Amino acid sequence: MASKLTTSNRAGWGFALPGFGLLALFIVVPFFFAFFLSLTNQRLISPNPTEFVGLDNYRDLLSISVLSIPPERDDAGQIIRDDDGEPTYARVRTFTRNNPDFPQYAGMREWFRWHSGDTAKVVVATDVVFWKSLRNTLMFVLVVAPVQGALALGLALLINQRLRGINVFRTIYFMPVVVSIVVVSLLWRFLYADDGLLNNILHALSFGLFEGRDWLGDENTALGAIKAMSIWQAVGFHMVIWLSGLQTISPTLYEVASIEGASKWQAFRYVTWPGLRNTAVLVLIVITMQAFALFAQIDVMTNGGPLDSTTTVVFQAVERGYGKQDISGGSTISVILFLIVLSISLIQRYLTREK
């Protein structure tokens, strides 16, 4: 292998040089730069000298712990209950703010809580917004990757037919991909508005039963709305990749299958799907990486709100690095995101390897 790459292959390296050079300059170097900056207190604008702070940024971002709050008791030792019979608890801020008895929780905030018996277990973190953005991003990937991949395959199968006018459909499905994501996001913001198209359609279809809802303004529906819109927007791109995969499968295989009397499903299951193996790996990895990079839709449609229900890791990196002038904090988030995406890609590669 090594000899093949190094000996008498000057032309090959020459051809690769522009690509490798650009990759190194704009991806590899900035990554090492980000890693270095994440160990400092670098600001976007500051006359103060940059100082090396070790792993402080990582600690501020990732510190998380569980706080057990016993129920409040009256003088007789009885648990004080509210009108619904639920025990009452001291507020989290009494533990996390200016309380010398609990220095380990100083400056932390509640993320979520559950109850174990009468004791409240509260998950507190220094940077709750980051944890929420991580959860949102993972939820986004978990839904978008399989649904978008499957829909794209379905569309590819539909348009992989020799029909009159099939190119019109190919164009229509691909159109959202070539429109700028910012424009698409703005349009969908109008669609999702209180008196927008979606509410009107649902209202008409349900004969007036459906009351309009504020899709992007409600923390329960905002992320779902963005997932749906994102799936629609990029599905055409992956459809084309699937289509190219479909067209590499030799027609003779299908002829053999039909001679053998295979049903449509069997032909798909035993001819098409094995033939798409490499394409599937590619589509899966590309969608996963793109989904982790979710940013423009958030920036245009919700700004991470309401109540952090749509904030994402990349949005936080930009918001901190540029909006709040904290380059080191933004770099730290980028490095963590890189490590997450890298490990997930490696796992995907391992699971889909040639056995």
- Which stretches of the chain bind other proteins, using CB under 8 A? 41, 43-48, 60, 91-93, 97, 107, 109-110, 128, 193-195, 214, 216-217, 219, 303, 305-308, 319, 322-326
Give 200 or 303: the residue with its C-beta nearer to other proteins: 303
Q: Which two tokens stand for residue 264?
A: 């449509």
Give 219 or 262: the residue with its C-beta nearer to other proteins: 219
Give 134 or 284: the residue with its C-beta nearer to other proteins: 134
Identity at 180, one-letter amino acid code: S
Min CB(45)–other proteins separation in Å: 4
Give 150 or 201: the residue with its C-beta nearer to other proteins: 201
Q: Which residues contact 28 (CB under 8 A, 6 or more apart)?
A: none
Do the Cβ atoms of 215 and 202 come closer than 8 Å? no
Min CB(232)–other proteins separation in Å: 21
Q: Which residues contact 66 (CB under 8 A, 6 or more apart)?
A: 121, 122, 123, 124
Min CB(60)–other proteins separation in Å: 8
4, 181, 189, 218, 233 from 184: Cα distances, Å: 47, 5, 9, 21, 8
| Residue whose pair of structure tokens reads 């190194």 in the numeric block | 24
d(CA 79, CA 220): 33
* Core vs surface per residue 50-63: b (16+ CB within 10 A) or e: eeebeeebeebbbe
DSSP lists the bridge partners of residue 32 as: none
Min CB(252)–other proteins separation in Å: 56
Give 152 or 225: the residue with its C-beta nearer to other proteins: 225
Residue 355: CB atoms within 10 A of its CB come to: 3
Residue 215: CB atoms within 10 A of its CB come to: 24
Identity at 30, one-letter amino acid code: P
Give 114 or 322: the residue with its C-beta nearer to other proteins: 322
| Burial (CB count <10 Å: 0-12, 13-18, 19+), residue 174 | middle
| Burial (CB count <10 Å: 0-12, 13-18, 19+), residue 312 | buried
Q: Which two tokens stand for residue 351?
A: 């699971």
Give 129 or 281: the residue with its C-beta nearer to other proteins: 129
Give 130 or 292: the residue with its C-beta nearer to other proteins: 130
Q: Which two tokens stand for residue 112?
A: 């979520």
Min CB(275)–other proteins separation in Å: 46
Min CB(140)–other proteins separation in Å: 20
Min CB(65)–other proteins separation in Å: 16
Min CB(80)–other proteins separation in Å: 20
